[in-house]
């Protein structure tokens, strides 16, 4: 079976939202196209002295509500269609969060594990050398995504400052704390996912101590696991790209993270059953959190999903066919453009702090984050009921209405 193209999935989501909400057709037409797409080659001298050329991308989808905003992904499967989809979702996400940002996304086609640290640094700086013309605090503000982290973003921010002379540090977010980063940014996406879930939990009849399966345990999934556990939920399954583990009474998240850190995988974690990523998705749990990559929940497995609620911390984990199957069996899907907005919200706080020369406390940051996500989660759940549709379509309708006001 051909894997779903994430950009086709994103376009279908737009069309499906237009079927339930009153969206101006001109706005819809504009949203089907990015405002600018940049595709570059990045020549890197490898440690052995040989030259390798990498492909890099930046897609600036909509600047209607503010500077383009979105992460940079380093992955072997990254391509222009994936980046286009992710950029479109960023425009919708920033509008759902009601922050003054537009949508963008970037990436490099690379297997980062095959590069030394010095090569990775040259590649990160190389991306900025090619892209700096289209970046800047008032133009486009990138952040981390899959396989990029504060250290990599720190190199990029440094390269941008050297080339442009910008002294605000506001051209990149997700920087290390000592280099203009915000308190709370590391855990923000996981934390935001929890606030969103918690705002809806009671009305969905989910117990105060629920069972949770999480696919992916990188920045987002790892933090989400610790945060849900701290709030009395039981993390019964976790996975990485090589597979997962299951313990029906609940895993000790800190012990699992330490095991992964030490051994590089979840293999041989004591007392847990080894499972595949496919099995993880179908476990008998209250809450399923996809926190890895796109296209995990499709028409082929949606019927077998047993969770009552799916909190999409990954971008694009569910296809539209699967959305219909899940809606039909009363499974709530909290869509990515709401559930994982915590990252971009705190990124925007970082940008604001850099521009104003301020440093906010973690308590301030998390308080503001909670406030935004509680308000928007309830508003979108209500809108879904009014429109008699799922939360994804309702969230797209809200986002498109907000974008329309600024066009």
Q: Name the residues that contact ligand NAD, by CB under 6 A.
A: 144-147, 189, 215-221, 239-241, 277, 291-293, 313-315, 340, 343
Q: Which residue lies nearer to ligand NAD by CB, 144 or 169? A: 144
Distance CA 313, CA 339 (A): 6
Q: Would you give the distance in Å from CA 373 to the centre of its chain?
A: 15
DSSP 54: E
Residue whose Cβ sits closest to ligand NAD: 218
Q: Which residue lies nearer to ligand NAD by CB, 142 or 343? A: 343
Q: Which residue lies nearer to ligand NAD by CB, 66 or 144? A: 144
Determine whether 160 is exposed, middle or buried from the number of CB atoms within 10 Å of its CB (0-12, 13-18, 19+). buried
Distance CA 180, CA 173 (A): 8
Minimum gap (Å) between residue 11 Cβ and ligand NAD: 18
Q: Which residue lies nearer to ligand NAD by CB, 213 or 397? A: 213
Determine whether 301 is exposed, middle or buried from the number of CB atoms within 10 Å of its CB (0-12, 13-18, 19+). middle
Distance CA 211, CA 233 (A): 6
Residue with tokens 């296209």: 295
The sign of the dihedral angle between the CA atoms of 170, 365, 390, 248 is positive
Determine whether 379 is exposed, middle or buried from the number of CB atoms within 10 Å of its CB (0-12, 13-18, 19+). middle
Minimum gap (Å) between residue 76 Cβ and ligand NAD: 10
CA 123-125-126 angle, to 5 degrees, is: 60
| 3-state SS assignment for residue 60 | strand
Minimum gap (Å) between residue 106 Cβ and ligand NAD: 12
Distance CA 297, CA 316 (A): 9
Q: Which residue lies nearer to ligand NAD by CB, 206 or 344? A: 344
Q: Which residue lies nearer to ligand NAD by CB, 41 or 111? A: 111
Minimum gap (Å) between residue 145 Cβ and ligand NAD: 5
Minimum gap (Å) between residue 26 Cβ and ligand NAD: 29
Q: How far from each other are the two terminal CA atoms of the chain, in whole angstroms?
A: 39
| Long-range pairs for 42-47: beta carbons < 8 A, 24 or more residues apart | 42/108, 42/123, 42/126, 42/127, 42/129, 42/130, 43/126, 44/119, 44/122, 44/123, 44/126, 45/122, 46/119, 47/116, 47/118, 47/119
Selected catalytic residue, list 22, 69, 93, 105: 105
382 tagged catalytic: no
Minimum gap (Å) between residue 77 Cβ and ligand NAD: 9
Q: Which residue lies nearer to ligand NAD by CB, 120 or 291? A: 291
User: Cβ(191)–Cβ(223) under 8 Å?
Assistant: yes
Minimum gap (Å) between residue 45 Cβ and ligand NAD: 26
Give catalytic residue positions: 105
């Amino acid at each position: 079976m051909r894997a779903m193209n994430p950009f086709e999935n994103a376009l279908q989501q737009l069309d499906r939202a237009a079927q339930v909400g009153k969206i101006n057709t001109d706005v819809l037409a504009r949203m089907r196209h990015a405002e600018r797409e940049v595709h570059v080659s990045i020549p890197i001298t490898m440690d052995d002295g040989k030259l390798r050329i990498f492909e890099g991308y930046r897609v600036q989808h909509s600047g209607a509500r503010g500077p383009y905003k979105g992460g940079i992904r380093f992955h072997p499967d990254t391509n222009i269609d994936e980046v286009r989809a992710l950029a479109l979702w960023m425009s919708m996400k920033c509008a759902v969060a009601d922050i003054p940002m537009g949508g963008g996304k970037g990436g490099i086609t690379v297997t980062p594990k095959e590069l030394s640290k010095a090569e990775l640094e040259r590649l990160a700086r190389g991306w900025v050398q090619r892209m700096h013309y289209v970046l800047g605090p008032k133009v486009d503000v990138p952040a981390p995504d899959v396989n990029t982290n504060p250290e990599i973003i720190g190199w990029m921010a440094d390269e941008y400052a050297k080339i442009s002379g910008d002294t605000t540090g506001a051209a990149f977010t997700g920087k290390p704390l000592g280099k203009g980063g915000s308190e709370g940014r590391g855990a923000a996406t996981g934390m935001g996912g929890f606030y969103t879930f918690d705002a809806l939990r009671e009305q969905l009849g989910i117990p105060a101590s629920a069972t949770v399966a999480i696919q992916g345990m990188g920045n987002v999934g790892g933090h989400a696991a610790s945060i849900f556990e701290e709030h009395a939920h039981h993390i019964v399954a976790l996975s990485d790209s090589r597979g997962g583990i299951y313990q029906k009474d609940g895993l000790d998240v800190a012990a699992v993270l330490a095991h992964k850190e030490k051994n590089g995988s979840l293999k041989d974690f004591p007392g847990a059953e080894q499972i595949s990523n496919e099995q993880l998705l179908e476990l008998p749990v209250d809450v399923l959190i996809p926190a890895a990559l796109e296209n995990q929940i499709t028409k082929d497995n949606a019927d077998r999903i047993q969770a009552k609620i799916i909190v999409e911390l990954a971008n694009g984990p569910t296809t539209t066919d699967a959305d219909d199957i899940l809606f039909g069996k009363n499974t709530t899907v909290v869509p990515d453009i709401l559930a994982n907005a915590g990252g971009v919200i705190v990124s925007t706080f970082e940008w604001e702090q850099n521009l104003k020369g301020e440093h906010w406390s973690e308590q301030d940051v998390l308080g503001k984050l909670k406030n935004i996500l509680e308000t928007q989660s309830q508003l979108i759940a209500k809108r879904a009921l009014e429109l008699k549709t799922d939360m994804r379509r309702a969230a797209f309708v809200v986002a498109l209405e907000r974008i329309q006001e600024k066009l």
